[in-house]
Amino acid sequence: MTTSRKDAARRIGLLTGGGDCPGLNAVIRAVTKDALGNGIEVVGIEDGFLGLIENRTRTLDAASVSNILHQGGTVLGSSNKANPAKFAVGMNDDGTPKLADMTDVCMKHIEELGLDALIVVGGDGTMTTAAPYCDRGVNCIGVPKTIDNDLWGSDLTFGFLTATQTATDALDRVRTTAASHHRAMVVEVMGRNAGWIALQAGVASGADIILVPEIEFDLDKIAETILHRREHGKKFSVICCSEGARPVGGKQFIERIDLTSPDPIRLGGVGKMVAGEVEKRTAIESRYVVLGHVQRGGTPTAADRVLATRFGHAAMELLRKGERNRLVVMQDYKLTHIGIQEAADKQRLIEPATDPLVAAARCIGTSFGD
């Protein structure tokens, strides 16, 4: 056990912000059990920052975190619409949301709850939301969560490995249908502006073409690749397509816009477009599948359970050492930490020219549509 400092936290708040993902409960369990074992009280804040706005909390004890390690989602609930700085409190006459700054309300609740620190579990949006509280004297310790793996400063976030495995399983299953019917099959996966899921699931499943946001694709070259495969006896093709992928000179495909959310853009539709254009250009029957939130759900893999547990323990170690406003990260396969504000308003993206997996995929004949 690490020796506690005089100014170390004795009562902490714990929230899970943004979208849900496998491994969140493993973090909740690790933080709570570690804290209780070191004489620290844990207040669970419900539904992310929304619970902080509405002052909805519950005490976490050993019983409340028992038998949750293997469960997907989060027992505390979450919200990807609750940015206290721009919180929707109604609608304006023109149909746009009426926004209010609830930061002072949250600060009041933090004081009333007697919290010495906040453990905030989330991605870039959650860290961006937490940054103003750091500026106002609240000690926030971040734990990196996102299936997109796009949190700046960390080579890996929990939830990503499970989402990638889910996408890989789907691509494997689609391959048999594509082969049986001699079709081109497009599988659209999540990732927002980052192509990590598409890249790793595409390579793992042996996808013939991988489309990621960081590499603009040419529809004619995609068609050429598929026709070339057919000429050489490959009567089917599988395309793994990130939701944020876009054609050369084009824009990302937006499914809808939610103005009540801190991240209002909801991507989607590129998979359908690619399948339609492939069929038009090649006369090969094409289909598309959108995995969507299937990638967020379900039981976390063993690797994600272990990673989430390590992250949770590392967060508590930082608190016991008296560190302030730090984000636990993994760099070069080792756990370390950076300033939580360093990760705010940034995204970790693939660098196509230097990424070793992109290079490996190209060398084994995988096309990126360019």
pLDDT digits (tens, 9 = 90+) for 201-222: 999 999 999 999 999 999 999 9
Q: What is the mean pLDDT of residues 64-69?
A: 95
Mean pLDDT of 239-247: 97
- The domain spans of the chain are 11-158+300-343, 161-296
Per-residue pLDDT, 219: 97
At the top level of CATH, which class does the domain 161-296 belong to? Answer: alpha beta
Q: Which residue has the higher pLDDT, 316 or 96?
A: 316
Q: Write down the pLDDT at residue 242.
A: 97
- Out of 12-16, 43-47, 223-227, 251-255, pick the least confident: 251-255
Strand partners, 59: 43
Do 11-158+300-343 and 161-296 agree at the fold level? yes
Mean residue pLDDT across the chain: 93
Compute the average pLDDT of residues 80-95: 86
Residue 97 pLDDT grade (very low, low, confident, very high; cuts 50, 70, 90): confident
pLDDT of res. 1: 31
Residue 252 has pLDDT above 50, yes or no: yes
3-state secondary structure of 254: strand
Give mean pLDDT, residues 56-61. 97
pLDDT band of residue 264 (cuts 50, 70, 90) is confident
Order of strands across the sheet that contains 209-211: 209-211, 237-242, 184-189, 286-290
Residue 101 has pLDDT above 60, yes or no: yes
pLDDT-based confidence at 258, cuts 50/70/90?
A: confident
Residue 6 above 70 pLDDT?
no
Q: What percent of the chain has pLDDT over 70?
A: 97
Domain range 11-158+300-343, CATH class: alpha beta
Residues 6+ apart with CB under 8 A from 307: 23, 156, 158, 161, 330
**Residue 3 pLDDT class (50, 70, 90 cuts):** very low
Q: State the sign of the Cα–Cα–Cα–Cα dihedral 217, 219, 220, 221.
A: positive
**Active site amino acids:** 148
Beta pairing partners, 238: 185
- The Cα 162–Cα 71 span in angstroms is 12
Whole-model pTM? 0.93
B/e letters for 121-133, b = 16+ CB within 10 Å, e = fewer, are: bbbbbbbbbbbbb
